[in-house]
Amino acid sequence: MNQRNEPTFRESVDLMFNRAVALMDLPPGLEEKIRVCNATYTVRFGVRLRGQIQTFTGYRSVHSEHMEPVKGGIRFAMGVNQDEVEALAALMTYKCALVETPFGGSKGGLRIDPRQYDEHELEQITRRFAYELAKRDLINPSQNVPAPDMGTGEREMAWIADQYARMNTTDINARACVTGKPLNAGGIAGRVEATGRGVQYALREFFRHPEDVARSGLSGSLDGKRVIVQGLGNVGYHAAKFLAEEDGAIITGIIERDGALFNPNGLDVEAVFNWIRGRGGVTGFPDAAHTAEGAAVLEEECDILIPAALEGVINLNNAERIKAPLIIEAANGPITAGADDILRARGTVIIPDMYANAGGVTVSYFEWVKNLSHIRFGRMQRRQEEARHQLVVDELERLDRYLGDAWSMSPDFKKKYLRGAGELELVRSGLDDTMRTAYQSMHEVWHERDDVDDLRTAAYLVSINKVAASYRAKGL
């Protein structure tokens, strides 16, 4: 991505950070302390595979320990390197502060193409990587708690949790060493969909503010908005699916590794997702135009662009040609600092990554709390809540009988009102609340300060202030 002398990903994050701190009044020492990455551990380890030893390189970076544990995903991809892991760890610090999850920022990565290995091989590699990190407390329920990211998911998290438990047989909180686990291994309902769900909630909240929508030149609601998504993986798939199925958005473009699909009348997200699963890519999918030059579709006309794959995809080479008036950064760092300058100058509204994809870490926080409390959310109160609601329904039914034809309960009321919230409802409610509250904090800064003209700077101001307050409280 580093064409036309663009800064690296980490430098790009630092440039955006610098733009924000220039508007603040922090002591220079504290500013530097917050910006720098505390430590990055590099490990090279061998695994015997297919009759010979293969060496892998992995990283775990800790950006800020103003709160512990530190938190951040583990990525499996060939592009993983120290600069990328450090940039992602920094973004985790700011993200956690913005959405008020009580964590410092961290990130991990393994340089590997997971598609080149079968399940058993991947398990061996993942367990060995987890062993290397756990023995240095870089996986630990009270110090460092990883989660899924690109190329990893529930399966890898279950292996990591099990590896940690084998190494710490008496740790009663062992399951809290990693989040994003399957439900039967200590996970939480709604974690797999969480990041995509958070993107949906972020957009809903944006559209609840007509004055913000107007700044992008759009109007109305999400209904009927044309959306292009890059990357139909965990984040992109869930975001696109929910926006289409629940908000009436029309997914006109889907960009994947092997090109892009385009259909102005809307693509069936579920069908495309199943096609990719079965054939490894979008090529050949019926009912859509296919172009091999996928990235070109980023430049197509649409209302909302959702980059949900990798960093640096909107850069100095294509920023001028991006037509979407609203971009929501579902991926981390999809817009370089240079491209951000160009788009801001053009009036494009960007909902920044540290907010847009915070749904994952938010629900990870709920999972970690669930693991530490050793009880499923809702278990104690659900039936009690239902019993209390039953009292109201009984009274209403009495009134119904008394009033005869003059009044009756709406048909669905009883069923809906009686149902107490289970874990999934509670998780979604907590996530929705988090996304709304965080948006409002950015919105306030965006509108109240004349020197802030974009949501990213507003997000940095809110989060840096919180990190600074933590450091101050510690006496630093």
Residues that bind ligand NAD (CB under 6 A): 148-151, 195, 230-236, 255-257, 294, 308-310, 330-332, 357, 360
Report in angstroms how near the CB of residue 25 gets to ligand NAD at its nearest.
31
Closer to ligand NAD by CB, 69 or 312: give it.
312
Residue whose token pair is 């590896």: 163
Residues contacting residue 302 through CB under 8 Å, at least 6 positions apart: 226, 227, 228, 252, 253, 323, 324
How many whole angstroms separate alpha carbon 335 and alpha carbon 326? 13
Q: Which residues contact 51 (CB under 8 A, 6 or more apart)?
A: none
Is 89 strand, coil or helix?
A: helix
Task: State the minimum distance, in angstroms, from the CB of residue 333 to ligand NAD.
Answer: 7
Task: Tell me the residue nearest to ligand NAD as measured from the CB.
Answer: 233
Nearer to ligand NAD among residue 12 and residue 234 (C-beta): 234
**Which C-beta is closer to ligand NAD: that of 108 or that of 360?**
360
Q: Which candidate in 95, 107, 241, 370 is catalytic?
A: 107
* CA distance between the termini of the chain: 37
Residue with Cβ nearer ligand NAD (252 or 332): 332
Query: How many Å apart are CA 85 and CA 87, to the nearest integer?
Result: 5
Q: Are strands 70-77 and 52-64 parallel, antiparallel or unpaired?
A: unpaired
Is there a catalytic annotation at residue 474?
A: no
Measured from the CB of residue 236, what is the shortest distance to ligand NAD in angstroms?
6
Coil, strand or helix at 72: strand
Closest approach of ligand NAD to the CB of residue 169, in Å: 29
Parallel, antiparallel or unpaired: strands 104-111 and 226-230:
unpaired
Q: Which is nearer to ligand NAD, 235 or 445 (CB)?
A: 235
Shortest Cβ 61–ligand NAD spacing (Å): 14
Cis omega (within 30 of 0) on the bond before 28?
Answer: no
Length of the chain: 476
Query: What pairs with residue 253 in β-bridges?
Result: 228, 262
Indicate the residue among 193 and 303 with the shorter CB distance to ligand NAD.
193
Q: How would DSSP label each residue in 156-169?
A: HHHHHHHHHHHH-T
Strand order in the sheet with 144-148: 39-49, 52-64, 104-111, 70-77, 144-148
261, β-bridge pairs: 254, 290
Whole-angstrom distance, CA of residue 252 vs CA of residue 297: 10
Residues that are catalytic? 107
